[in-house]
Chains A and B, each alone.
Chain A
Amino acid sequence: MIYFDNSATTLSKPPEVAEAVKYAVDNFGNAGRSFYDTVMAANREIYQTRVELARLVGLDDPLQVAFTSSATESLNLVIYGLISETDSVITTITEHNSVLRPLYLSGCDLDFLDCDGNGKVMVDSFSGLVKESTRFLVCTHGSNLTGNITDVETLHNLCREYGITLILDVSQTLGAIPVNISMADIMCFTGHKALFGPQGTGGVMTNGSYDFDVVKTGGAGTNSFGRFQSTDMPDIFETGTLNSHGIYGLQKGVQFVNAIGPQNIHGEEMKLHNLFYEGIRGIDKVRVYGDFSVPNRLPVVSLLVEGMTSSELAGRLWEEYRIATRAGSHCAPLLHKHFDTVDSGLVRFSFSYFNTAEEIKKGIAALKSIANG
């Protein structure tokens, strides 16, 4: 199999990740619930994972990193914890449903930043959307559909100017490109994509102090006779038994990223991306979606072959070539409407540090054969 669905989850991971999970399953007690060796081993490795993540984003205090089960859970907890129906919120049409649906359900007043024809968020429109009641911008750092990077530096500067809190979804970017905590006020991340961690890991990182409403509550291991648990970071998001097994695996993934460096990882992945893009751009029937004019993008190429739906194309890539891609809507409904690809969907090729040039060449050859056949 050739695996080109790394934006969904990275399949090849550093071997230390699975080894750590196995070790943790065999050796970790319930973190935060007692004091003996197996519990303290879990406590220490969970804390060390916070340290590694803080190092990755330049965060001074590792306790500003909270663990959840996924970026989706993180976004739900942050959005419901901060945003009410009296707030106005700006988001973009590039968002994943993990941003859109919690925002819809919150009842807030929503305004959308639009995109150009290549799916690039038009940040110049931001000021025109700001109202007196606008308190938050919730947006993705990198599109899971096009691989475009959002200009969050400009957006964050504008947010500061207007006193707006920027909640950034870094699901596709953390580990894949350099990400610094100064880019946003709150970041929601997943562990199983570019951080090479296990599925079931993710979290929230805060740049400062925020008055989150409690969304979930229960046992926390401390202050057991109080009616309410701590609302400090990271406790407010960590009710119940943490996934210490997965978090220890995530630590090894983040260590791998820190050792190589996101800039170097991005460089290697973009070599593969550029090889693929140059190989398929000339195929008559292939149309790509995204802004390929800038080097600062994610290693993602979404496309259609004329006369075929995405499911037909992805099906043939798998059946005939054992190439795994992602067909359909990618949980990005508004961007598909923008591209007028609701009916066809798109086929997304997403590459990883562990893919090879040989695999890319086989992918190009397969696409050429299908498109020209």
Chain B
Amino acid sequence: MDYIFVFENTNSAMKAEKCLLDENLKVTALPLPNQVGAGCGICLKVGQEEWEAASETLRKSQISGICVYARDEEAGGIVYRELQDFFV
């Protein structure tokens, strides 16, 4: 299982990516999944091994409006499950 961070806009995503890269965390930009949102924006994917450190870094980043989804590859395709209120 992987995790994706979804942002209110691309600028917030870029700020988040810089925060994560500054912590030497492995992060991948992906197109925003259609199941999650409309538009041609990006989300940031981290693997299980980076998840804890990445979420802690973004909690401290003061970036508002981040949503987090668990990303699972299942037989019918990729399934996204929102982790409700993760950053509240």
Contact = CB atoms under 8 A, between A and B. Distances in A.
B26 to A, nearest CB: 14
A63 B11 contact: yes
Interface string B5-42: 00011111111011000000000011110000111111
- Main secondary structure on chain B at its contact with chain A? mixed
Contacts of A230: 8-9
A221 B9 CA distance: 8
A19 B31 CA distance: 30
Contacts of A40: 29, 42
A298 B68 CA distance: 50
B40 A47 contact: no
Given A33-B40, A35-B42, A224-B39, A235 B9 contact: yes
Nearest to A234: B11
Given A35-B29, A224-B38, A224-B40, A51 B18 contact: yes
B15 A63 contact: yes
A47 B18 contact: yes
A62 interface: yes
B14 A47 contact: yes
Contacts of A225: 38-39
A39 to B, nearest CB: 8
A293 interface: no
Contact of A221 (B10, B30, B62): B10
- Main secondary structure on chain A at its contact with chain B? loop
A220 interface: yes
A43 B10 contact: yes
Contacts of A131: none
Size range of the interface on B? Answer: 20 to 34
A238 B9 CA distance: 12
A61 interface: yes
A222 B10 contact: yes
Contacts of A222: 8-10, 32, 37, 39-41
Contacts of B18: 44, 47-48, 51
Nearest to B14: A47
A234 B13 CA distance: 13
Nearest to A219: B40
A40 to B, nearest CB: 5
Contacts of A238: 11
A192 B82 CA distance: 45
Contacts of A369: none
Interface string A16-36: 000000000000000111110
Contacts of A43: 10, 13-14, 42
Given A51-B18, A221-B39, A221-B40, A35 B31 contact: yes
Nearest to A44: B14
Nearest to B15: A63
A226 to B, nearest CB: 8
Contact of A47 (B15, B31, B42): B15
A232 interface: yes
A290 B8 CA distance: 48
A126 B70 CA distance: 57
B17 A232 contact: no
A31 B32 CA distance: 15
B12 to A, nearest CB: 7
Interface of B: 8-15, 17-18, 29-32, 37-42, 62
16 contacts: A32-B10, A40-B42, A43-B10, A46-B14, A47-B14, A47-B15, A48-B18, A221-B39, A222-B8, A222-B32, A222-B39, A222-B41, A223-B38, A224-B39, A230-B8, A232-B8
Smallest CB-CB A-B distances: 10 pairs? A47-B14, A224-B39, A222-B41, A32-B10, A222-B39, A225-B38, A35-B42, A35-B29, A35-B31, A222-B9
